[in-house]
Amino acid sequence: MRQEVNYSYEITPRPDHLGGGWRLRLLENNEEVGGGVFPPQTDAFANPTDALQAAYFDAESEAYCWLDRCPGHMMDHDYQRHGLFADPVQGENSEGDSAIAADRHRRQAAVDFAMANVGLVGFTPSEEVQDRMRRFIDGEIDLDEFVKGVMDHAKREV
């Protein structure tokens, strides 16, 4: 009989005397199988809170990449997330609602991370691109459609 493997992750704050930021633990059946530390890159951000949030997004992005590589694991099914920030699936009544909320959170984190990166160089996306971001976050379009639309928009603007 095949036993189901549960993949999850945990992001916890690191003490300031260790450099602050976040500790990522990658879990298989609640046992740590990997992870890393993500200190804030204070030299890249004027605001320490932004640096801390970017470090969190880096840790979360690494966790998503790991989950995507886990055999048989699907991001929109049995998704588990642990961390300091509020879990958007709390209070949901069904597994389906939780999966949808988790997928939306993953998309929001990806857009937030991208916005932080482009913001570092002083770039502000157009209203059309911001609308595409919202549609991607809401699940109206997938990543391929989002990227294609942004690339088409960029070609028109050049």
One DSSP character per residue, 16-55 reads GGGTSSEEEEEEETTEEEEEEEE---GGG-SSHHHHHHHH
Q: Specify the pLDDT at position 79.
A: 39
Q: Which has more confidence, 2 or 12?
A: 12
Q: Specify the pLDDT at position 2.
A: 60
Assess contact for 136 and 143: CB atoms under 8 A: yes
Lowest mean pLDDT among 28-42, 68-82, 116-130: 68-82
C-alpha–C-alpha distance, residues 65 and 63, integer Å: 5
Please, which pLDDT band fits residue 158 given cuts at 50, 70 and 90? low
Q: What is the mean pLDDT of residues 132-157?
A: 84
pTM above 0.85, yes or no: no
How far, in whole angstroms, is CA 38 from its chain's centroid? Answer: 14
